[in-house]
Amino acid sequence: MAGDIGEDEMISRRNLLRSLIAAPFLFLTGKYLFPPSEAKGVLVEVESDKIPEGGAMVFHDENIILVRADEEVIAFSLECTHLGCTVALNGEEFACPCHGSKFASDGSVIQGPATRSLDRYVTKITNNKIQVIESKKDV
Protein backbone atom coordinates (compact mmCIF):
# COMPACT_ATOMS: atom_id res chain seq x y z
CA MET A 1 0.00 0.00 0.00
CA ALA A 2 1.13 3.54 -0.70
CA GLY A 3 2.07 5.45 2.43
CA ASP A 4 2.92 2.32 4.45
CA ILE A 5 6.13 2.47 6.40
CA GLY A 6 8.09 -0.72 6.86
CA GLU A 7 9.15 -1.83 10.32
CA ASP A 8 12.82 -1.17 9.57
CA GLU A 9 12.03 2.44 8.62
CA MET A 10 10.04 3.27 11.75
CA ILE A 11 11.58 4.96 14.76
CA SER A 12 9.97 4.11 18.04
CA ARG A 13 8.77 6.92 20.25
CA ARG A 14 11.21 5.75 22.94
CA ASN A 15 14.22 5.94 20.57
CA LEU A 16 13.14 9.34 19.33
CA LEU A 17 12.89 10.67 22.89
CA ARG A 18 16.29 9.19 23.77
CA SER A 19 17.84 10.94 20.78
CA LEU A 20 16.20 14.25 21.63
CA ILE A 21 17.44 14.04 25.22
CA ALA A 22 20.97 12.94 24.29
CA ALA A 23 21.60 15.58 21.59
CA PRO A 24 21.84 18.66 23.88
CA PHE A 25 23.95 16.71 26.39
CA LEU A 26 26.40 15.67 23.68
CA PHE A 27 26.51 19.22 22.31
CA LEU A 28 27.31 20.73 25.73
CA THR A 29 29.87 18.04 26.48
CA GLY A 30 31.60 18.78 23.18
CA LYS A 31 31.69 22.52 23.90
CA TYR A 32 33.23 21.77 27.32
CA LEU A 33 35.83 19.32 26.01
CA PHE A 34 36.74 21.43 22.98
CA PRO A 35 36.38 25.11 23.98
CA PRO A 36 37.16 27.80 21.40
CA SER A 37 40.80 28.85 21.47
CA GLU A 38 41.58 32.03 23.41
CA ALA A 39 43.62 33.74 20.70
CA LYS A 40 43.27 32.87 17.04
CA GLY A 41 45.59 35.44 15.54
CA VAL A 42 45.87 39.00 14.38
CA LEU A 43 42.60 40.71 13.47
CA VAL A 44 43.97 44.07 12.41
CA GLU A 45 47.43 45.37 11.58
CA VAL A 46 48.19 49.01 10.83
CA GLU A 47 51.26 51.25 10.67
CA SER A 48 51.60 53.00 14.01
CA ASP A 49 52.01 56.47 12.46
CA LYS A 50 48.61 56.17 10.70
CA ILE A 51 46.81 56.96 13.98
CA PRO A 52 47.79 60.40 15.31
CA GLU A 53 47.89 61.28 19.03
CA GLY A 54 44.28 61.72 20.17
CA GLY A 55 43.03 60.14 16.94
CA ALA A 56 41.16 56.98 16.09
CA MET A 57 40.77 54.56 13.21
CA VAL A 58 37.71 52.39 12.59
CA PHE A 59 37.85 48.95 10.98
CA HIS A 60 34.24 48.32 9.96
CA ASP A 61 34.69 44.75 8.71
CA GLU A 62 36.15 43.68 12.06
CA ASN A 63 33.86 46.01 14.11
CA ILE A 64 36.92 47.42 15.91
CA ILE A 65 38.16 50.92 16.65
CA LEU A 66 41.74 51.83 17.57
CA VAL A 67 42.15 54.90 19.78
CA ARG A 68 45.53 56.52 20.48
CA ALA A 69 45.88 58.39 23.75
CA ASP A 70 49.00 59.24 25.75
CA GLU A 71 51.35 57.03 23.71
CA GLU A 72 48.98 54.09 24.22
CA VAL A 73 46.80 52.46 21.59
CA ILE A 74 43.57 50.87 22.80
CA ALA A 75 41.38 48.60 20.69
CA PHE A 76 37.66 48.44 21.43
CA SER A 77 34.87 46.35 20.01
CA LEU A 78 32.22 48.57 18.43
CA GLU A 79 29.54 46.17 19.65
CA CYS A 80 27.36 47.63 22.41
CA THR A 81 27.46 45.44 25.50
CA HIS A 82 23.70 45.88 25.99
CA LEU A 83 22.25 44.13 22.94
CA GLY A 84 25.05 44.10 20.38
CA CYS A 85 24.21 47.08 18.16
CA THR A 86 27.17 48.87 16.57
CA VAL A 87 28.18 52.00 18.48
CA ALA A 88 29.45 55.11 16.70
CA LEU A 89 32.16 57.54 17.72
CA ASN A 90 30.41 60.81 18.52
CA GLY A 91 32.98 63.45 19.48
CA GLU A 92 34.71 62.21 22.64
CA GLU A 93 32.30 59.34 23.31
CA PHE A 94 30.70 56.29 21.75
CA ALA A 95 26.92 56.26 21.32
CA CYS A 96 24.62 53.31 20.67
CA PRO A 97 21.85 54.21 18.20
CA CYS A 98 19.57 51.37 19.32
CA HIS A 99 18.89 52.10 22.99
CA GLY A 100 20.91 55.22 23.81
CA SER A 101 23.83 53.77 25.78
CA LYS A 102 26.88 56.03 25.87
CA PHE A 103 30.50 55.10 26.53
CA ALA A 104 33.51 57.29 27.38
CA SER A 105 36.65 57.28 25.22
CA ASP A 106 38.12 54.67 27.60
CA GLY A 107 35.13 52.37 26.92
CA SER A 108 33.46 52.81 30.32
CA VAL A 109 29.69 53.27 30.54
CA ILE A 110 28.48 56.87 30.83
CA GLN A 111 24.77 56.18 30.33
CA GLY A 112 22.76 52.94 30.24
CA PRO A 113 20.97 50.72 29.60
CA ALA A 114 24.39 49.04 29.05
CA THR A 115 25.96 48.06 32.36
CA ARG A 116 29.34 46.82 31.13
CA SER A 117 32.20 48.66 29.43
CA LEU A 118 32.98 48.09 25.76
CA ASP A 119 35.08 44.98 25.20
CA ARG A 120 38.79 45.63 24.73
CA TYR A 121 41.18 43.68 22.57
CA VAL A 122 44.82 42.98 23.26
CA THR A 123 47.13 45.23 21.22
CA LYS A 124 50.78 44.68 20.43
CA ILE A 125 53.21 47.11 18.78
CA THR A 126 56.08 45.54 16.86
CA ASN A 127 58.28 47.05 14.15
CA ASN A 128 56.17 50.24 14.09
CA LYS A 129 53.00 48.21 13.46
CA ILE A 130 50.00 47.99 15.74
CA GLN A 131 48.45 44.55 15.88
CA VAL A 132 45.07 43.79 17.37
CA ILE A 133 44.91 40.26 18.72
CA GLU A 134 41.60 38.39 18.67
CA SER A 135 41.52 37.51 22.35
CA LYS A 136 39.55 40.06 24.38
CA LYS A 137 40.97 41.67 27.47
CA ASP A 138 38.97 41.64 30.69
CA VAL A 139 38.53 45.22 31.84
Residue 129 included in any domain: yes
Mapped onto helix, strand or coil, the DSSP state of residue 3 is: coil
Residue 106 included in any domain: yes
Share of the chain above pLDDT 70, in %: 74
How far apart are alpha carbons 89 and 117 in whole angstroms? Answer: 15
Residue 30 included in any domain: no
**pLDDT value of residue 39:** 42
Residue 115 included in any domain: yes
How far apart are alpha carbons 120 and 134 in whole angstroms? Answer: 10
Confidence check: pLDDT of 34 > 70: no
Q: Residue 54 belongs to what domain range?
A: 42-137
Residue 33 included in any domain: no
**Does the reported pTM lie above 0.95?**
no
- For the stretch 81-130, pLDDT in tens is 888 888 888 888 888 988 889 998 888 899 888 888 888 888 888 888 88
Confidence check: pLDDT of 61 > 50: yes
The count of domains in the chain is 1
Domain harbouring 79, CATH code: 2.102.10.10
Residue 93 included in any domain: yes
